[in-house]
Each structure stands twice: as C-alpha cells, then as structure tokens.
Amino acid sequence: MSEPLSLNGGVAFVGAGPGDPELLTVKAARIIGQADLVLYAGSLVSPGVVALARAGAQVVDSAPLSLEETHALLVATARQGGLAARVHTGDPSLYGAVSEQIRLLVADGIPYTVVPGVTSAAAAAAAFGVSFTEPEATQTLILTRQAGRTPMPPGESLRELARHGASMAVYLSAGDPEGVAQALSEGGLPGSTPVAVAHRLGWPGEKRRLATVDTLAQTVRAEGMDRQTVFLVLPGLGRGTASKLYDPSFGHGFRPAREDD
C-alpha cells in the first residue's frame, strides 16, 4: 500500500502531467528536485520536468530499458538510502504500468509512494474551455482507449462504451483515428458529435483542434497527430441546462431557497 515516505530509502512514482512543468503538483516538483535518481520515459516526459532534477542527481531515460532493468535501478538507489523518483507522464494510475513495478518493489521490501498528476484529459478540457459534465445532458466521463496490441476486456470496446452517450476521453488511439471514428459511430453517436483533439499538450508545438466524429480521422491525418494525442468526445457540449446550484429557488445547507419576487 502506498504510504508517506521519509523520502529516504524509497521510491516515489510521480505524475508529471501532460507536459507543461507548471502543471506539476507542488509535491511532485519537490520530490523530483530532491531525488537521488530521476528515472523517466524520455519519449513521454517533457524535458522541462526532468530539468527540475538537482545537480548531481542520476537522471536516466527508461525508454530503452526493460522492467527488470528499471527495477534494479530503483532498488539500488533505495537500498543505498536514497530517494528514487519514477516519473510517469500524466497520472501514474492511468496507463502508467505502475502495478507491475509496485509488485516487484513489494516483493523486495522497498517502500513506495504515489504522487498523482494532472492527466491529459483534464488538461485538454481546460485548454479547450469545455466541461465533461453538462446538467441534464451528460453527467458521466469514461476514460478509455481503442484496442491495439493490448486488447480490451469484454464489454469495454470503444463501440460498447460509446452506447452510453457519456463524455469520453480516448487515450493511446491516435494511430487509428479511422477505427476510433467508426467505433464511436457504431456505438450510436451522431456524426456531428464534437470531438476535441489535443496533441502533445503543454509541449512546444502542441496542437489543438476541434473536430466531429465525422471529421476526426481527416483532422488527425491532416495535422500529423500521432503519439501523445487524446480525444475528448463531448456529446453534451452546449446542450446542458443551467446548474441548480446557483438557482435562487434551489435551497441547500448554506442558502435557503428564495421565491421569485
């Protein structure tokens, strides 16, 4: 179980956010700056995040390494009484492959903690100025992906999930935008359903485009968007009613309901 560390002799899985170093949490920035080892995926984690490592820290790109090799580095640092920061893009709990790393640490008796990060879906919604939830239009957000080399479990295909008509954040699927659009359409979403596309959000040269289910594939191909792209499927965009929270006739524990004059 993840627990607070003394920051000596352990491993911290750190969420690096989508790319912008200013979207790191205060704790994430502090741990990266204190770590004796900063182990990160060079193809995914922004150089601006890694630049927070202190002078003299061991900074290692994990991209060419196997799970066993990354584990050996983490264990060596922890057993020497040091702090290892395992830096993951976005939030470690989403497509971060932390479970298999944690199992190995537990087996070796190495303490660890997990520091959450801003996931690209949240960052993209903020960048586009949109809300996943719209009163009386949609109140549910599904985080998912298109099947690829990793198959989807039964009942979790993009087509089946699209049948709910909820907002969706589709990760790791830009390599097959035609397949994504087809699955959304087969799931019953109209071709006019808005889809916000964010590519390498927070990195230099980021791209943001508004599309629809019908124009999704064309937009992605024309813009050359591939890895590090998230699709926000927004069936409730612009269709919601006004929130009850600020309706004068809606009372709650801090404000009595008022009748119109």
Question: In terms of C-beta density within 10 A (0-12 exposed, 13-18 middle, 19 or more buried), how is residue 3 classed?
Answer: exposed
Q: Tell me the β-bridge partners of 196.
A: 210, 232
Q: Write out the chain's pLDDT in tens, 261 residues.
A: 555 555 578 999 999 999 999 999 999 999 999 999 999 999 899 999 999 999 999 999 999 999 999 999 999 999 999 999 999 999 999 998 899 999 999 999 999 999 999 999 999 999 999 999 998 889 999 999 998 888 899 999 999 999 999 999 999 999 999 999 999 999 999 999 999 999 999 999 999 999 999 999 999 999 999 889 999 999 999 775 555 555 555 555 555 666 664
What are the angstrom distances between the C-alpha of 206 and each of 6, 20, 79, 200? Answer: 37, 10, 40, 5
What confidence tens digit (pLDDT) does each residue in 61-74 have?
A: 999 999 999 999 99
SS3 at position 177: helix
Could you tell me if 17 and 90 are in contact, meaning their C-beta atoms sit under 8 angstroms apart? yes
Q: pTM of the predicted model, to two decimals?
A: 0.88
Domain with CATH 3.30.950.10 in the chain: 120-233
CATH of 120-233 given 3.30.950.10, 3.30.450.370, 3.40.190.10, 3.20.20.70: 3.30.950.10
Strands (E) located in the chain: 10-15, 37-40, 58-61, 83-88, 112-115, 141-145, 167-171, 194-199, 207-212, 229-233
Residue 151 has a pLDDT of 87
Closest to 188 in 3D by CA, of 162, 211, 169: 162
What angle separates helix 67-79 from helix 98-107, to the nearest 10 degrees? Answer: 50
The CATH fold of domain 10-115: Cobalt-precorrin-4 Transmethylase; domain 1 (3.40.1010)
**Rounded to whole angstroms, how far apart are CA atoms 2 and 84?**
15
Given this model, what pLDDT does residue 238 score?
78
The per-residue pLDDT for 246 is 56
* Separation of alpha carbons 196 and 232, rounded Å: 5
Q: Looking at residue 159, what is its pLDDT?
A: 97
Residue ranges of the chain that CATH labels 3.40.1010.10:
10-115
**What's the pLDDT at 61?**
97
